[in-house]
């Protein structure tokens, strides 16, 4: 089978807010979700800022008792999935439950739970460990809990590919529907690792911004003064559905997924290949899968992490793939506003890309005040732009040299 796959529902939990409208409004206004860390005492840490999710109440989305048995990243996944399902109007019942599955991505899993129970072990010994410790932290309990709470009994799996995980999950779910193994999938990415070990670990890698005196300007992709990414948390979930199924129930369609590319750098644990070769092949594979030329792309949602290496290398890769057209296609990094949600980034940014197509608006890259000469493309600085967006690309690149590209198209019947 070779079925067409469309997006019929979305759910968002990010530093910009909870839900579609709150996120999209903030994004179009160029608002930042970055602030000082409140989760722990940052006195001894180089980085004291992050993109924390505010005003999130798990009980709004699931029974409080079950929420207490989940790490925060799982709570975010369940909340985003429930919002997406409700947004889609898809009904899970006896006739559909075996044909809707769940595929989610994350990078690190339940790091806060690991820290909590490691401390309990040291203080109280093995008896201090909860029987829910393991189910609270493992990556596949995000799709597992979504399946349990929403009744989705189709294909169920988790992708763990660092910062590309959300995009890989969506791409893999797209292929599952395309080949007929499911009629619909709940898919996206999620992460919550703003913890002492998480921040301390990325500080040790010298990967995080230390612009602590001005949090909202710390994430500045493609700017010459960028000094690292800003860690964030949250998640984005989508309902992917076969086109025939969506049309049969007269569902609203945000867009169609038409291409998926994957590649590996085979170069370094954390650094991208200097020539951008892996990212180049990834974008080329996405275009090939979609049957498109580079000039067909109206907008690129860049990985754009605000690290010196990534932004320059992604720019170089875009130039290699798009040639002269690279100077004409608008590109933005929404991480300038959300921060970097790691394994959650791909899910959230695929949604932002779909909303750009839906509303014909390209989100801005904020804090682009002193452009890097190496980064000389059109990054839509500071102000959202009205534009007819029919086809868009979203890039996600992760540690270990793992890359993902998704291509979305406006559904026009």
| DSSP percent split of the chain into helix, strand, coil, nearest 5 | 40, 20, 40
Question: H or E element: which one contains 261?
Answer: strand 255-264
Nearest to 322 by CA among 284, 349, 353: 284
Residues forming the active site: 163, 303, 340
How many other C-beta atoms lie within 10 A of the C-beta of residue 12? 31
* 373 touches 228 (CB < 8 A): no
How many other C-beta atoms lie within 10 A of the C-beta of residue 327? 12
How long is the chain? 413
For every residue of 13-75, DSSP letters joined together read: EETTEESHHHHHHHHHHT----EE--SS--TT-S--EEB---S--GGGTS-HHHHTTS-HHHH
How many other C-beta atoms lie within 10 A of the C-beta of residue 160? 18
| Beta strands 234-242 and 5-14, pairing class | antiparallel
| C-alpha distances in Å from residue 162, one per residue of 109, 139, 153, 190, 397 | 10, 12, 26, 11, 8
Could you give the CA distance from residue 341 to residue 73 in angstroms, rounded to a whole number?
A: 11
């Amino acid at each position: 089978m070779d079925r067409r796959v469309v997006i019929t529902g979305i759910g968002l939990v990010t530093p910009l807010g909870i839900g579609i409208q709150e996120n999209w409004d903030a994004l179009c206004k160029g608002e930042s979700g970055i602030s000082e860390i409140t989760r722990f005492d940052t006195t001894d840490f180089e980085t004291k800022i992050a993109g924390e999710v505010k005003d999130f109440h798990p009980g709004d989305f699931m029974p409080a008792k079950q929420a207490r048995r989940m790490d925060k990243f799982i709570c975010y996944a369940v909340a985003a999935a429930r919002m997406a399902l409700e947004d889609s109007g898809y009904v899970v019942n006896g006739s559909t439950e075996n044909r809707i599955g769940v595929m989610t991505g994350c990078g690190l899993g339940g790091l806060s739970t690991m820290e909590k129970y490691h401390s309990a072990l040291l203080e109280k010994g093995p008896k201090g460990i909860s029987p829910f410790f393991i189910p609270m932290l493992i990556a596949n309990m995000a799709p597992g809990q979504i399946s349990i709470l929403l009744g989705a009994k189709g294909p169920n799996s988790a992708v763990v590919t660092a910062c590309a995980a959300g995009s890989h999950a969506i791409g893999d779910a797209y292929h599952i529907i395309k080949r007929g193994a499911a009629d619909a999938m709940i898919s996206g990415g999620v992460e919550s690792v703003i913890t002492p070990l998480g921040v301390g670990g990325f500080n040790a890698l010298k990967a995080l911004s230390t612009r602590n005196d001005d949090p909202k300007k710390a994430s500045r992709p493609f700017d010459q003064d960028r000094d690292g990414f800003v860690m964030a948390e949250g998640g984005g979930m989508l309902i992917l559905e076969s086109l025939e199924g969506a049309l049969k129930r007269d569902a609203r369609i945000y867009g169609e997924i038409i291409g998926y590319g994957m590649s590996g750098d085979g170069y370094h644990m954390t650094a991208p290949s200097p020539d951008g070769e892996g990212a180049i092949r990834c974008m080329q594979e996405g275009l090939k899968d979609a049957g498109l030329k580079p000039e067909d792309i109206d907008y690129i949602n860049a990985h754009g992490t605000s690290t010196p290496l990534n932004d320059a290398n992604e720019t170089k890769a875009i130039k290699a793939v798009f040639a002269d057209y690279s100077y004409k296609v608008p590109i933005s990094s929404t991480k300038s506003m959300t921060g970097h949600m790691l394994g959650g980034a791909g899910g959230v940014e695929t949604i932002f890309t779909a909303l750009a197509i839906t509303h014909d608006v390209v989100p801005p890259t904020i804090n682009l005040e002193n452009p890097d000469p190496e980064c000389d493309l059109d990054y839509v600085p500071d102000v959202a732009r009205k534009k007819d967006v029919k086809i868009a690309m979203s890039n996600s690149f992760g540690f270990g040299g793992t890359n993902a590209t998704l291509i979305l198209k406006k559904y026009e019947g």
